[in-house]
A and B are shown apart, each in its own frame.
Chain A
Amino acid sequence: MDTKHPASAGGGGVSRRNFNKLFGGALLGSFVLPRFITDAAAQPASYNEAPMLAERVAAGTLPPVAERLPKNPLVINPTNEVGTYGGRLMGAGMAPETTNDLQIGQATGLFRFSNDLNELIPDLASGYEFNDDYTQCTITLREGLKWSDGHPFTVDDIIFYLEDYQYNPDLFPATPATWLIGGDKFGLEKIDDINIRFTFAKPYPSFSIIHFSGAPTEPFRPAHYLKPFHPKYNDNVAADATAAGYDSWQAFFTAKADGDSPSPHYGVSNPEMPCLSPWIPTSADSQRQQYERNPYYHHVDSAGNQLPYVDFMTVEYVSNAEVMNLKAVSGELSVAGLDIQLLNYPIIRRSEETGGYSTKLVYSERGSDVAIAFNQLQPDPVLKELFNDVRFRQAMSLGINRTEINELVFLGQGTPRQATVNESASFYDPKWGEHFAQFDLEKANALLDELGLTQRDANGIRLRSDGQPLIFQLEYLPQEGPKKEACELVVKHWAALGVQVDAQARERAYLIQRLDAQEQHATAWHVDRALERPSYAYSLDGKLGPGGNSIIRYAREWQNWFNSAGERGVEPPQDAKDLRDAYIVWQQTSMGTPEYEAAAKKVYDLTAETLYVIGTIGQSPQPVIVRNDIGNVFKPDDEARMWWGAANWFWHTLNPDQWYIKA
């Protein structure tokens, strides 16, 4: 079992599949250049820097580039060609508390990932190593990394973040689950400035820090900057907080550390805090965010030019999606993807020439873009019995005409499939996607008849066992995708089965209230984090995990039962327990091993068998726009399918630091 993943061996950090691809390419005579070089031997001989930085070096305000870079910077092979320095990226974002297309590219974590998240590349770290039984993991940082103010970045910054921040009961009365294993904190040991050893209470091959979903895990903050705001290092912090206008030192510290977002790249960043990103936030007012290049950024291109190529970045706030789309088609934005609506695809394609951009269709990583779950703990006993029966769920799944939904709502570009893991998973079995995903009215009606719903009323609606007509609600939030259009088609299809369902759009806070009280009948949402890596590391608590999550949380009391070891909640049925056990077994295996594959298959076999979540269309298309003057974003004529989603932070996987503005 391969437990070591160092960066020094040639091609280290490349997954087995891609390694074979490289070799295969070489044998065919067309050698595919690896994307990232982590091999110290392949480092460029000398480094260049941007003219605006060279000026500062000449003026003596900045050390020369060789001193600013770490000993072995991450070498990135540009997507198409080596770029030129200069220019400004223009972007737009919606509400201030979420992220936007350009801000996504800012995230800089210990590891980077490929677009499908299968490949892991050391970024700030140079490698990681587990011990034999996965109870310890040692992460090694690159030597000589520096924060954007020149101060060294060391293991101390990681320890500060975990020990003084995340594990501090004054700041977090209950530690966030990402930093716990089996309910226990990680043991932290500083070996030296660049080596840190984590110790786990039980074997933890799916260690959260080396996996990724959403923002790359950035378990560090600049200790030298934040210590004055922390009571452990500054006795006066309470007075300082009040003087600055905060209610408590916790609010003060959190504001300084960008801590109330999951990442400093959500919403407004604190411009004074040093960072490791390609661009430093210089200001943020209510109109826009401004960024300037980071002189200490640790990436270089294959010719030794320090990245990023682009000098400045501006993100403007827009008040609604229509304006965002209009700005995109008028060519005002360098790249656009978030909030670009599929329905606008015709206009987007038509305006390509006038706007001076090109469009690419990428595909959502979602297991299902519109998925439906029935409340397994519905207060009405007759409905509960019906929803609990898998044959009912199977019938309802067969009754959905997915082809029609695909054509009408997703321009025929989505994939009709059951709600399951994304097809790019290494262990994927197509039967999961096809499971009860056909449109078979005969079989569906037969299943419903089998359940005893043979009587019908005057309108043709089936009668329940208590004589009442079978009527219930399908509630959804009309956000983040065409939920409304899809749900209205689904209820129309279900009417042909003799089941009357009312599709109801709800306001978010109200629906969440109903979900918390478990009063809903059926809800619709999407199933995301369906790529292999986030499924492995995080999906036990995700939308396909037992009990569901977010708007399709269909059995909250089961989750309470699981989390309290039986003290609270309602005991789940055996197949939900089996599903949970299957996830736990899977998370104990290590990625890439035969045990891993077997465990994963078991999880998704059970997911298909239990069919708690019904999927309609998954992997739907998403247009993204790239202006013609931005280079190195996509390879020309690259027909391979790219994945888009909150789970992989799409733009981040395209390395915005090596984008450049063509003259």
Chain B
Amino acid sequence: MGRYIIQRLLLVIPTVIVISIISFIVIQLPPGDFLSSYIATLEAGGQVVDEAQVAALRMQYGLGEPVYVQYFKWVGGIIFQGEFGQSFQWKRPVSELIGERMMLTVVLSLASLLLVWAISLPIGIYSAVRQYSPGDYFFTLISFIGLGVPNFLLALVLMWLAYTHFGMSVGGLFSPEYADAPWSWDKFVDFLGHLWIPAIVLAIGGIAGLIRIMRANLLDELPKPYVVTARSKGMGEGALVLKYPVRVALNPFVSTIGWTLPGLVSGSIIVSVVLNLPTTGPMLLTALQSQDMYLAGAILLLLSILTVIGTLVSDVLLAWLDPRIRFN
């Protein structure tokens, strides 16, 4: 087990390196760079920008150098100084910008993840145990609707409902009066009031999938001999189901933790843009659109590290949970 973990840890490093190279290149792929889109924005606003001025700015930003030089400078800065570079758009260090938004991003993702699990586990178990009952059909229907409706559409609808019926201020995770205020109970309640929309929207897509998986796995397990044995030994139905088959059926849940978390973080980009949340999602989008390469590169790098580590964690968890894997 220990050797397994160490082996996996060692693999993380080359994986992350390759990902960083690829994301850096992909960011640079659109024609032009930050300056060309910036100048286009300026010209649209009525400014005339000189070509020579552009050349001077390009030199200043270090955008005139070849890609690999920029890449090594950037990676060097990360490894040796912990500096992720400067954002062109915001004119501030990238680490500051990401740091400001990281906590809320993580909180939102965790909240959605917990919500997905909390809803899909019981419903999946119920669906399997009461297969083909009206309740089963009802939940199946709801979950497929949730899967089929695009999550940004759902976000818009919920946001409009919240505004018209609950009078909630739109956009953002806080009402204007609490935005700058220090944390207090009222602020926390306001935060929860705003959090439920994005959490639900993000969760709904995942719920359907997990319900079906849970249901299918459990249906595989329930007819198995050990269940019959336990029942014949007199175990109560509820305790029986929860203690044995569910534990086996949890396998895919655990193995998907790895990419559920970054899936939530990145899938939430669209929802965050629609709902105007102060998370890393909208920041990544505008960074990509204006080719603010250090900011976009840093966020992508962080996301990929999350994915890699998440996968590692889920593999380890799975090995711990399922003895069959350990002994294989």
Contacts and interface: CB of A to CB of B under 8 A. Distances in A.
Interface of A: 90, 95-99, 171-178, 213-215, 245-248, 250-251, 254-255, 260-262, 266-268, 285-288, 316, 318-320, 322-323, 326-327, 330, 332, 479-480, 507-510, 512-513, 528-529, 534, 538, 541-542, 549-550, 645-647
Contact of B170 (A214, A326, A510, A512): A326
Nearest to B91: A268
B286 A330 contact: no
B50 interface: yes
A318 B100 contact: no
A509 B48 contact: no
A510 B50 CA distance: 20
Given A215-B47, A286-B97, A327-B170, 4 more contacts: A251-B61, A286-B278, A327-B171, A509-B37
A298 to B, nearest CB: 26
Nearest to B159: A326
Contact of A99 (B45, B49, B51): B45
Contacts of A213: 46
A214 B176 contact: no
Contacts of B286: 95-96, 319
A319 B31 contact: no
Interface in B50-74: 50-53, 55-57, 59-62
Given A509-B37, A510-B31, A646 B56 contact: no
The 3 closest A-B pairs by CB, nearest first: A174-B52, A319-B282, A214-B46
A97 B276 contact: no
A254 B53 CA distance: 13
B52 A172 contact: yes
B170 A550 contact: no
A171 B56 contact: yes
A333 B52 CA distance: 39
Contacts of B38: 97
Contacts of A542: 48
29 contacts: A95-B41, A95-B89, A97-B89, A99-B45, A173-B52, A174-B52, A174-B55, A176-B53, A178-B48, A214-B47, A260-B60, A261-B42, A268-B90, A268-B91, A268-B92, A285-B100, A288-B179, A318-B276, A319-B276, A320-B273, A323-B170, A326-B163, A332-B176, A480-B44, A509-B40, A512-B36, A534-B46, A550-B40, A646-B44
Contact of A330 (B32, B47, B49, B170): B170
Nearest to B53: A176
Identify which of B44, B50, B92 gathers the most chain A CB atoms within 10 Å of its CB.
B44
B89 A538 contact: no
B322 interface: no
Contacts of A322: 156, 274
A647 B97 contact: no
B101 interface: yes
B249 interface: no
A318 B171 contact: yes
B201 interface: no
A38 to B, nearest CB: 27
A129 B41 CA distance: 35
A509 B36 contact: yes
Contacts of B44: 479-480, 550, 646
B46 A174 contact: no
B107 interface: no
A174 B50 contact: yes
A98 B170 contact: no
B83 interface: yes
B283 interface: yes
A260 B171 contact: no
Interface of B: 30-32, 36-38, 40-53, 55-57, 59-62, 83, 86, 88-93, 97, 100-101, 156, 159, 163, 169-172, 176, 179, 272-276, 278, 282-283, 285-286, 290
A513 B90 contact: no
B169 A330 contact: yes
Contacts of A541: 48
A172 B54 CA distance: 9
Contacts of B88: 97
Contact of B45 (A171, A327, A646): A646
A509 B31 contact: yes
A512 B40 CA distance: 9
A268 B91 CA distance: 7
Contact of B55 (A173, A175, A512): A173
A148 B305 CA distance: 46
A36 to B, nearest CB: 24
A332 B31 CA distance: 38
Contacts of A510: 30-31
A319 B272 contact: yes
B150 to A, nearest CB: 15
Contact of A174 (B51, B97, B285): B51
A98 B41 contact: yes
Contacts of B290: 95, 97
A255 B90 CA distance: 11
A177 B283 CA distance: 34
B39 to A, nearest CB: 9
Contacts of A332: 169-170, 176
Given A267-B89, A268-B92, A508-B37, A248 B60 contact: yes
Contacts of A479: 44
A314 B40 CA distance: 27
Contact of B90 (A96, A215, A245, A326): A96
Contacts of B93: 245
Contacts of A215: 47
Nearest to B171: A323
Nearest to B41: A98
Nearest to A268: B91
Contacts of A647: 46
A70 to B, nearest CB: 30
Identify which of B37, B42, B51, B88 gathers the most chain A CB atoms within 10 Å of its CB.
B42
B57 A260 contact: yes
A508 B290 CA distance: 11
Identify which of B53, B179, B273, B283 gathers the most chain A CB atoms within 10 Å of its CB.
B53
A639 B272 CA distance: 41
Nearest to A252: B60
Nearest to B73: A247
A174 B62 CA distance: 18
Contact of B50 (A176, A287, A529): A176
B101 A286 contact: yes
A645 B286 CA distance: 24
Contacts of A323: 170-171, 274-276
A330 B172 CA distance: 14
Contacts of A288: 179
B169 to A, nearest CB: 6
Contact of B276 (A172, A262, A320, A480): A320
Given A319-B273, A319-B282, A177 B50 contact: yes
B37 A262 contact: no
Given A214-B45, A512-B32, A512-B36, A245 B86 contact: yes
A330 B57 CA distance: 41
Identify which of B30, B48, B51, B273 gathers the most chain A CB atoms within 10 Å of its CB.
B48
A318 B171 CA distance: 8
Contacts of A320: 273-274, 276
Contacts of A176: 50, 53
Contacts of A549: 43, 48
B46 A254 contact: no
B56 A174 contact: yes
A513 B100 contact: no
Nearest to B39: A512
Contacts of B42: 261-262, 266
A538 B48 contact: yes
Contact of A254 (B37, B47, B60, B278): B60
Contacts of A98: 41, 45
Contacts of B169: 330, 332
B230 to A, nearest CB: 53
B61 to A, nearest CB: 7
